[in-house]
């Protein structure tokens, strides 16, 4: 084992184990395989039903009535292409996002991609590293792991040589190394992921709602479809006509395009965010973006840029070697955090005679690090308000500096470094001042969220006064009132939630408290997004409805986040939120179109079945009308901009309009067909009258859905009407779609019925939106454009 710790595996050993397949090959969380994408778009229940119906038309009917089969092929192809584009975007960004693993091979420390780790590799660990494979500890220098994502225990676990470690945990303090004993699918975290017990997908109300639509519609289609087939076989003059009528009703009932539009909207959202260098690791995260109403921001790395610079060192006592001690502490860590890096930049070498005999690594829970030096005593460096004694001049001096937005540390000498007990009295030796660079775009971004009604919570482990100063400089409402998290009632969730609702800025927040903050806000019905870049943010990111990590953050942070901002660009957050709102608002919009079609088909099928009537139109008629009033417009509407924050209640809001609209459309079409038949018109003329009415009412549904009337929406709606008029006017298309508009009386009556029904649809629309307006919301058809 000692020899392995010195040199690691040899090149020959690595090649041999790679050839045996003993490598850390696991499926990326953000991507589906090509076969899975094809299956999801082709092998669906609706596609199976439509394929059977298409075959029946090809056997017993006319080929023109089988046009709907080609539409399904086109839909599946479009869905596959868009998902493949999204997959390429995700895979490309996922490769960039993967934190390299440090291993020792042939005695040299190298960084390799996670997928190149082999069984038996010596993996080196530092603060913020996530363990990707199981192993056994070989070296430990104050190594502490957080295993809470696996065990639920929040306290860090000290690891010594010989201790087992599990993938999915992450380093919170110290350094060390372990030998990989299980890799790839055999590793603990990979097995948990397969069992869906560790890394769950974000909850998706949209996905749940559409699944519910499909389930209920399937239950309705089976009995109503059977009734329609029975009635058509009894009423029609021949078997082919009966099959054609039954297929027309059943095909129209199926909202096959709804699933397609949802997939395309999500896929395009992934592609758009990918162009902004945002990696979406869970697809439902795009939907959660639209629902966010509280955004918790970690100050360091989010509002401020990741780097810091050493401002000054203020010695407090002439008899203590403060500068030498500071330089010695700064040069102890092999993997220094940004604070130590800033100090080391000005003190690149450890002074002679300062040999460490013991050390305690920094952790966010302790907020200090330290070491004992031979003949020099024990020295600590950490948060000034933690190490200094309140009421002393040096404490007041540190508080005064912190109030200007500077990061203030204290350096001191102590009698003991025992982490299991209180640190004890500290002899203050110096105050260390670090300058933080505020991101120039932060103020504009925060202002955007304020306008959008998203509450901001600035949460930091720093001094509350320092955090407050930065919040005030950025114009954050309530920024002057900062709360010290050490005074919060952790054991009273209700009281904590009340304070969080009324307060914006919090300092001295521990990693455990960040997690409590998220839980308390969620208990008040908030949808919480959390940003972070450090290992102290991991637990809160995991528990938040949406975790957003910075690309330069720790590997553990990026691993648990649903979205990673690859360029650390805080200004991309508004675009991320806007993309989620666009997807959700527009899917709700087009859902009303598709489900209106489903419900009018269900009602028409019931009327035809119960009254023993011929179904009022053929499959080719529904293909024409549906393409012009649903299919083509839905593509444009689903991808349009939208800035409305999503709200719960997706299913009832859609059904509140789709059901009555479907009933009105069905009654209008049936009346038009019945009146034409009563005037002794031919079957083709009666069906033409029904198709005219059907187009008028469904086109008016499109008009209502397309609000607000921007120029391109008006042009879209007008183009659909013009295309239908051309289809009726041109002899070739008129013959192809079996339209016979020769009976002027039937046609005028059909148009008149359509106009009256459209007025009723408008009334239903206004009534259906009134519950939203009474709560101060606009419906999805009144969203503002950005």
Q: What is the C-alpha to C-alpha distance for residues 461 and 473, in angstroms, rounded to an integer?
A: 19
Looking up tokens 């401020």, which residue turns up?
304
The span from the CA of 214 to the CA of 255, in Å, is: 8
Comparing C-alpha atoms, which of 167, 136, 171 is closest to residue 150? 167
Q: Name the CA radius of gyration of the chain, rounded.
A: 33
Q: Which residues pair with 296 in a beta bridge?
A: 457, 530
CB–CB of 281/561 below 8 Å?
Answer: yes
Cα–Cα distance measured from residue 667 to residue 13, given in angstroms and rounded to the nearest whole number? 76
* Main-chain phi, psi angles of 541, to 5 degrees: -60, -40
CA dist 5 and 205 (Å) reads 50
In the set 298, 333, 533, 545, the catalytic residue is: 298
Which residue, 286, 576, 641, 295, is CA-closest to 450? 295
Distance between start and end Cα atoms, the chain: 61
SS (H, E, C) 316-330: CCCCCCHHHHHHHHH
Handedness of CA 219, 46, 586, 710 (dihedral sign): negative
Task: Give the β-pairing of 294-298 and 304-315.
Answer: unpaired
Separation CA 279–CA 87 (nearest Å): 11
- Which two three-digit tokens encode residue 37? 């994408």
Tokens of 741: 């508009």
Strand 294-298 versus strand 528-532 pairing type:
parallel
3-state secondary structure of 671: helix
Question: What CA dihedral angle connects 613, 614, 619 and 624, to 10 degrees?
Answer: -80
Tokens of 665: 């459309």
Q: Residues 247, 535: contact at Cβ < 8 Å? A: no
Kindly state the greatest CA–CA separation across the chain.
114
Q: How far apart are CA 2 and CA 59, in angstroms?
A: 77
Find the helix or strand (DSSP H, E) in which 296 lies: strand 294-298
Taking alpha carbons only, the member of 706, 605, 705 closest to residue 663 is 605
Q: What is the DSSP string of 197-214?
A: SSSPPPP-HHHHHHHHHH
**Cis before residue 64, ω within 30 degrees of 0?**
no
Whether 298 is catalytic: yes
Active site (catalytic) residues = 298
């Amino acid at each position: 084992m000692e020899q392995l710790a010195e040199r690691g595996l040899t090149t020959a050993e690595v090649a041999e184990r790679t050839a045996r397949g003993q490598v850390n090959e696991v499926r990326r969380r953000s991507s589906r395989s090509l076969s899975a994408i094809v299956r999801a778009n082709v092998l669906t229940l609706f596609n199976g039903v439509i394929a059977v119906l298409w075959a029946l038309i090809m056997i017993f009917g006319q080929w023109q009535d089988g046009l709907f089969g080609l539409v399904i092929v086109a839909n599946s192809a479009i869905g596959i292409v868009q998902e493949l584009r999204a997959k390429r975007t995700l895979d490309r960004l996922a490769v960039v996002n993967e934190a390299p693993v440090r291993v020792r091979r042939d005695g040299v420390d190298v960084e390799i991609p996670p997928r190149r780790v082999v069984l038996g590799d010596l993996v080196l660990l530092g603060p913020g590293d996530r363990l990707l494979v199981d192993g056994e500890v070989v070296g430990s220098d104050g190594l502490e792991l957080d295993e809470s994502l696996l065990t639920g225990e929040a306290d860090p676990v000290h690891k010594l040589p010989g201790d087992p470690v599990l993938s999915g945990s992450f380093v919170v303090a110290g350094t060390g190394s372990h030998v990989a004993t299980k890799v790839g699918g055999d590793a603990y975290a990979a097995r948990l992921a397969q069992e869906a017990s560790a890394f769950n997908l974000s909850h998706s109300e949209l996905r749940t709602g559409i699944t519910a639509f499909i389930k209920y519609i399937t239950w309705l289609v089976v009995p109503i479809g059977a009734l329609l087939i029975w009635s058509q076989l009894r009423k029609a003059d021949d078997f082919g006509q009966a099959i054609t009528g039954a297929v027309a009703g059943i095909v129209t009932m199926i909202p096959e395009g709804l699933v397609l539009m949802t997939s395309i909207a999500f896929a395009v959202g992934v592609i758009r965010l990918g162009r902004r260098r945002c990696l979406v690791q869970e697809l439902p995260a795009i939907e959660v973006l639209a629902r966010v109403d509280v955004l918790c921001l970690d100050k360091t790395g989010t509002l401020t840029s990741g780097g810091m610079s050493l401002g000054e060192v203020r010695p407090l006592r002439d008899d203590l070697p403060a500068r030498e001690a500071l330089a010695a502490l700064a040069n102890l860590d092999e993997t220094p955090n940004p604070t130590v890096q800033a100090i080391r930049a000005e003190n690149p070498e450890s002074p002679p005679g300062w040999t460490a005999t013991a050390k305690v690594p920094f952790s966010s829970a302790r907020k200090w690090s330290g070491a004992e030096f031979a003949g020099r005593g024990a020295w600590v460096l950490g948060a000034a308000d933690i190490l200094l004694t309140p009421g002393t001049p040096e404490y007041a001096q540190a508080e005064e500096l912190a109030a200007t937005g500077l990061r203030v540390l204290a350096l001191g000498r102590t009698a003991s470094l025992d982490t299991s007990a209180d640190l004890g009295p500290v002899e203050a030796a110096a105050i260390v001042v670090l300058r933080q660079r505020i991101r120039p775009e932060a103020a504009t971004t925060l202002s955007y969220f304020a306008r959008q009604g998203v509450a901001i919570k600035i949460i930091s482990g720093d001094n509350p006064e320092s955090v407050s100063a930065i919040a005030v400089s950025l114009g954050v409402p309530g920024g002057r009132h900062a709360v010290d998290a050490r005074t919060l009632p952790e054991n009273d969730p209700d009281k904590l939630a009340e304070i969080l609702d009324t307060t914006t800025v919090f300092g001295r927040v521990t990693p455990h408290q960040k997690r409590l903050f998220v839980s308390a806000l969620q208990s008040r019905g908030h949808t919480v997004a959390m940003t972070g870049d450090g290992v102290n943010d991991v637990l809160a990111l995991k528990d938040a409805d949406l975790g957003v990590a910075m690309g330069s953050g720790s590997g553990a942070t990026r691993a648990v986040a649903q979205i990673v901002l690859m360029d650390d660009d805080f200004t991309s957050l508004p675009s991320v939120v806007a993309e989620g709102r666009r997807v959700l608002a527009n899917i709700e919009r087009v859902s009303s179109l598709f489900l209106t079609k489903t419900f009018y088909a269900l009602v028409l099928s019931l009327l035809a079945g119960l009254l023993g009537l011929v179904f009022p139109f053929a499959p080719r008629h529904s293909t024409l009308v549906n393409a012009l009033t649903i299919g083509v417009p839905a593509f444009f509407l689903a991808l349009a901009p939208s800035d409305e924050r999503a709200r719960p209640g997706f299913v009832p809001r859609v059904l509140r309009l789709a059901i009555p609209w479907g009933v009105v459309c069905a009654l209008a079409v049936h009346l038009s067909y019945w009146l034409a038949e009563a005037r002794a018109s031919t079957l083709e003329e009666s069906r033409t009258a029904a198709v005219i009415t059907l187009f008028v009412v469904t086109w008016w549904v499109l008009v209502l859905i397309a609000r607000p009337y921007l120029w391109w929406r008006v042009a879209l709606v007008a183009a659909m009407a013009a295309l239908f008029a051309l289809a009726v006017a041109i002899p070739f298309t008129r013959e192809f779609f079996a339209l016979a508009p020769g009976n002027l009386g039937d046609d005028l009556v059909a148009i008149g019925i359509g106009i009256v029904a459209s007025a009723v649809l408008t009334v239903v629309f206004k009534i259906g939106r009134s519950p939203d307006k009474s709560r101060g919301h606009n419906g999805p058809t009144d969203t503002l454009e950005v």
